[in-house]
Amino acid sequence: MTGQFDIERVIAALKSVIPADKMPVALHEPWLCGNERVYLNDCLDSTYVSYVGQYVDRFEAMLVEFTGVKKAVAVVNGTAALHVALKLAGVEPGDEVLTPALTFIATANAVTYCGAIPHFVDSEERTLGLDPFKLRDYLKDITTANTSNCINKYTGRRIKAVIPTHTFGHPVDLDPLEDICDKYNITMVEDAAEALGSYYKGKHTGNCGKLSILSFNGNKTITTGGGGAIITNDENLGKLAKHLTSTAKIPHRWEYRHDAIGYNYRLPSINAALGCAQMEQLPGFLEKKRDLAVRYNSAFQNIAGIQFFTEPLHSTSNYWLNVLLLDEANPEQRDKLLEKTNDEGIMTRPAWTLLHKLAMFQNCPCMDLSCAANLEARLINIPSSPNLISR
Amino acid sequence: MTGQFDIERVIAALKSVIPADKMPVALHEPWLCGNERVYLNDCLDSTYVSYVGQYVDRFEAMLVEFTGVKKAVAVVNGTAALHVALKLAGVEPGDEVLTPALTFIATANAVTYCGAIPHFVDSEERTLGLDPFKLRDYLKDITTANTSNCINKYTGRRIKAVIPTHTFGHPVDLDPLEDICDKYNITMVEDAAEALGSYYKGKHTGNCGKLSILSFNGNKTITTGGGGAIITNDENLGKLAKHLTSTAKIPHRWEYRHDAIGYNYRLPSINAALGCAQMEQLPGFLEKKRDLAVRYNSAFQNIAGIQFFTEPLHSTSNYWLNVLLLDEANPEQRDKLLEKTNDEGIMTRPAWTLLHKLAMFQNCPCMDLSCAANLEARLINIPSSPNLISR
């Protein structure tokens, strides 16, 4: 039958790539094989385990160097980073923010922390991310022309920002999206939570947004236990991000005065110490992850009904979580494969439930989401840790 | 001159308590003399450095055991803990929340994160905390009788909650405050950020509020780098706190569905591992901190114009940050003492600037704050680390 695939052949292909001694295998786990112990013990020796000390500065400098942005601000996680990035992008209560429907819930949650409303956008199959061409046609239909702000004529609300999420590490097509942002006066905030080590046309992701964010959660390419960062090429916004993610205290030898409502999202030193050790290993992790993707791609070449997803043109992806796509939407077969692989100790998962289906977001505005719905029904993530490739 | 003190005598008294080999001396620094290295290295060995693993559960169990509450939920810091505690106390946008004017800004910031408005309350000299008797008289004046909600008749807004902060570790007089809460249908959320190891009438602080919070910042009695906890005797609220401080995911083997907007405030395992080692040492830290207070008290017995603050009756305090009170409000002499001590390597600081004086809060409602203003002009914190007492 067209579009059907043989589950046993899929599992055999996975096992041909995943070393037997790694079973059972997680989706993505931390690999702590560098200076983690050295830096953590040094951090303890210094007693500067909290918000003072060298490791946060060092970690931020390493992020700046690696991504090529002008300023990085380390925070407790990617959600917190996105919250403050949206604030600094000028998102205000009652605004709408364009976000993909096919993304992790943190993207939409951060919008709500600003008192704003997520407005869900469809994805495109070639990137798994937000479809800029479909968005362009949609905005033409729903916005009123000739205003300095972009106003949704159906809700009367301002559309202030757009959050392209680089899904599973694969870069969104940013150039056409940037054109739309320019034309409609919409601010771009790149959600590169999954995309440390991913490049769009030779530039590291996060360089195109007015502000962008990274995540260093335990399941990400590098980890700080929990952590994230705001990155930006606007040095003033970077300084403000540093101020607002602290308690916004005015520097003084002893006085306690604050000039804004801060969010206290600072990353502690011990987490940054872990991050410094991980950043040193990032190039090696990326090499191994891309090597793993090559092996998966080859193993799935001749399996009918299912394909391994490869990076979009014009991009170099970190292949954060590797993706299999069923040829046809077949939730029953997809669930059978999920069940069988997890039973056998190969951790797999489907895409996130589309956000507009969740009770909290079901009344939010959205465009036609047929591509996202189709991807949701066809997509499976498979084990992606760099340590699946032997040294 | 009445109320004047001799700065040289004050410095001599400080130096009679602080060992010479500890100079220059911080206000409060982490003491990492137990199993910190063992647990952190074990945590790294396990690779469970993020949100999965044994240390968060262990840390929460240790907090439950020590404080006597039914449920503790570890989060990234005390500010985050207070945000979610206020949400779960039912604070909604447009509500007013009673908070002391003399407290760290995080208390008022957390109120604003809920879209609510801080309403500033005066302090009393015997506890340095919120004055329940003055508050009782004030509420009688400003609220309308005979409504199930407590309505501020001048603003028309509901007064939903009150946050007694146990200032510098000294417990607020909670019994009369509880009576007020019962009478006016106001929910108490104890801010015990500074009060781990402080007891009110034999019970650990945090047992009286519907929900309460702790902090483990680097300057606190114990530290997790950065960290905090929501504690409560209501097991259902405790479960909800755990859910809302995560991403509110519905447990499932692979599906990603969420039933609420969560805040992703989870404490990572590596921070909890540090916390477990610190909790083991807490009784020793408290003993040393109380011993230090005894020494300061004795050193300042015969110094005219200034007094060492001792714990309120009916309470046992952790003496988080030790306090000197000038007999009379004399900002000029206070600042001279701050300058001279800091110049000599003895870190001191004044109280926080009263919150209603900050631009962000200057339009918030407040009662007469004369006692808080008087305390602000007279108060100095002096070095308080447990390691100032030799073993």
Q: What's the pLDDT tens digit per position in B178-234? A: 999 999 999 999 999 999 999 999 999 999 999 999 999 999 999 999 999 999 999
pLDDT band of residue A391 (cuts 50, 70, 90) is low
Contact list, B359 vs chain A (CB under 8 Å):
259
Candidates 3.40.630.10, 3.40.50.970, 3.90.1720.10, 3.90.1150.10; CATH matching A7-31+282-358+365-388: 3.90.1150.10
Q: ipTM, 2 decimals?
A: 0.95
Q: Are the CB atoms for A58 and A272 separated by under 8 Å? A: yes
Contact list, A268 vs chain B (CB under 8 Å):
218, 224-227, 271
A-chain residue closest to B248, CA distance: A105
Strand ranges across the sheet with B379-382: B306-308, B322-326, B379-382, B349-350
- pLDDT tens-digit profile of B106-158? 999 999 999 999 999 999 999 999 999 999 999 999 998 767 899 999 999 99
**Which residue of A83, A247, A257, A258 to mutate against B (max B Cβ within 10 Å)?**
A258
Candidates 1.20.1050.10, 3.40.50.2000, 2.60.40.1120, 3.40.640.10; CATH matching B36-279: 3.40.640.10
Closest approach of chain B CAs to the CA of A76, in angstroms? Answer: 7
pLDDT band of residue A2 (cuts 50, 70, 90) is low
| pLDDT for the residue A148 | 86
> Which amino acid type is present at position B78?
G
How many residue contacts between A and B have a Cβ separation below 8 Å? Answer: 179
Closest approach of chain B CAs to the CA of A338, in angstroms? Answer: 8
Residue B285 has pLDDT above 70, yes or no: yes
Average pLDDT, chain A: 96
B-chain residue closest to A260, CA distance: B360
| Residues contacting residue B253 through CB under 8 Å, at least 6 positions apart | A342
Closest approach of chain B CAs to the CA of A16, in angstroms? Answer: 23
Closest approach of chain A CAs to the CA of B79, in angstroms? Answer: 7
A58-67, B133-142, B143-152, B303-312: which range is least confident on average? B143-152
What share of chain B in percent tops pLDDT 90? 94
Contact list, B219 vs chain A (CB under 8 Å):
50
A145-154, B64-73, B366-375: which range is least confident on average? A145-154
**Which residue of A55, A270, A347, A349 to mutate against B (max B Cβ within 10 Å)?**
A270
Residue B244 has pLDDT above 90, yes or no: yes
Mean pLDDT of A309-318: 96
What share of chain A in percent tops pLDDT 90? 94
Q: Long-range CB contacts (< 8 A, 24+ apart) of A62-65?
A: A62/A275, A62/A276, A62/A279, A63/A214, A63/A229, A63/A231, A63/A279, A64/A231
Q: Are the CB atoms for A354 and A102 separated by under 8 Å? A: yes
Rounded Cα distance, A301 and A210, in Å: 40
| Residues contacting residue B237 through CB under 8 Å, at least 6 positions apart | B71, B88, B210, B211
- pLDDT tens-digit profile of A329-386? 988 999 999 999 999 999 999 999 999 999 999 999 999 999 999 999 999 999 999 9
**Which residue of A40, A339, A343, A349 to mutate against B (max B Cβ within 10 Å)?**
A40
| pLDDT for the residue B119 | 98
Closest approach of chain B CAs to the CA of A277, in angstroms? Answer: 12
Q: Which two tokens stand for residue B155?
A: 């603003």
Rounded Cα distance, A74 and A40, in Å: 17
Residue A22 has pLDDT above 70, yes or no: yes
By Cβ distance, the residue of A225, A351, A358 closest to B50 is A225
pLDDT band of residue A100 (cuts 50, 70, 90) is very high
**Which residue of B109, B194, B264 to mutate against A (max A Cβ within 10 Å)?**
B264
By Cβ distance, the residue of B29, B50, B353 closest to A218 is B50
pTM of the model: 0.96
Contact list, A55 vs chain B (CB under 8 Å):
none
- pLDDT tens-digit profile of A250-300? 999 999 999 999 999 999 999 999 999 999 999 999 999 999 999 999 999
Domain at B7-29+282-358+365-388: CATH code: 3.90.1150.10
A-chain residue closest to B223, CA distance: A50
Judged by CB atoms closer than 8 Å, whether chains meet at A50 and B225 is answered as yes
A-chain residue closest to B217, CA distance: A50
Query: For residue A148, with 0-12 CB atoms within 10 Å meaning exposed, 13-18 middle and 19 or more buried, which class applies?
Result: exposed
Rounded Cα distance, B215 and B218, in Å: 9
pLDDT band of residue A389 (cuts 50, 70, 90) is confident
Rounded Cα distance, B184 and B190, in Å: 17
Contact list, A257 vs chain B (CB under 8 Å):
353, 358
Judged by CB atoms closer than 8 Å, whether chains meet at A226 and B51 is answered as yes
Mean pLDDT of A210-238: 98
Q: Are the CB atoms for A207 and A178 separated by under 8 Å? A: no
pLDDT band of residue B21 (cuts 50, 70, 90) is very high
pLDDT band of residue B391 (cuts 50, 70, 90) is low
CB atoms within 10 A of CB A355: 26
Q: Which helix (H) or strand (E) holds B16?
A: helix B7-17
Residue A185 has pLDDT above 70, yes or no: yes
Rounded Cα distance, B39 and B60, in Å: 15
Q: Are the CB atoms for A263 and A277 separated by under 8 Å? A: no
Residue B53 has pLDDT above 90, yes or no: no
| pLDDT for the residue B51 | 85
Q: Which two tokens stand for residue A21?
A: 């001694």
Rounded Cα distance, A79 and A53, in Å: 24
Q: Which two tokens stand for residue A238?
A: 């970077």
| pLDDT for the residue A146 | 67
Residue B362 has pLDDT above 70, yes or no: yes
**Domain locations along chain B:** 7-29+282-358+365-388, 36-279
Q: Are the CB atoms for B244 and B263 separated by under 8 Å? A: yes
Mean pLDDT of B287-313: 96
A-chain residue closest to B218, CA distance: A50
- pLDDT tens-digit profile of A23-45? 999 999 999 999 999 999 999 99
Q: DSSP letter at B330?
A: -
Contact list, B106 vs chain A (CB under 8 Å):
247, 264
Q: Are the CB atoms for A263 and A82 separated by under 8 Å? A: no
pLDDT band of residue A46 (cuts 50, 70, 90) is very high
3-state secondary structure chain A: CCCCCCHHHHHHHHHHHCCHHHCCECCCCCCCCCCHHHHHHHHHHHCCCCCCCHHHHHHHHHHHHHHCCCEEEEECCHHHHHHHHHHHCCCCCCCEEEEECCCCHHHHHHHHHCCCEEEEECECCCCCCECHHHHHHHHHHHECCCCCCCEECCCCCEEEEECCECHHHCCCCHHHHHHHHHHHCCEEEEECCCCCCCEECCEECCCCCCEEEEECCCCCCCCCCCCEEEEECCHHHHHHHHHHCCCCECCCCCCCCECCCCCCCECCHHHHHHHHHHHHHHHHHHHHHHHHHHHHHHHCCCCCCEEECCCCCCEECCCCCEEEEECCCCHHHHHHHHHHHHHCCECCEECCCCHHHCHHHCCCCECCCHHHHHHHHHEEEECCCHHHCCC
| pLDDT for the residue A331 | 86
pLDDT band of residue A73 (cuts 50, 70, 90) is very high
The strand ranges marked E within chain B are: 71-75, 96-100, 117-121, 159-162, 187-191, 199-200, 203-204, 211-215, 228-232, 306-308, 315-316, 322-326, 349-350, 379-382
Q: Long-range CB contacts (< 8 A, 24+ apart) of A357-360?
A: A358/A105, A358/B257, A358/B258, A358/B259, A359/B259, A360/A112, A360/B258, A360/B259, A360/B260, A360/B261
Contact list, A324 vs chain B (CB under 8 Å):
none
Judged by CB atoms closer than 8 Å, whether chains meet at A260 and B349 is answered as no
**Dihedrals phi, psi of B360, to nearest 5 degrees:** -70, -20
pLDDT band of residue B2 (cuts 50, 70, 90) is low
| pLDDT for the residue A144 | 87
By Cβ distance, the residue of B112, B270, B338 closest to A274 is B270
By Cβ distance, the residue of B80, B256, B270 closest to A353 is B256
Contact list, A348 vs chain B (CB under 8 Å):
254
CB atoms within 10 A of CB B116: 23
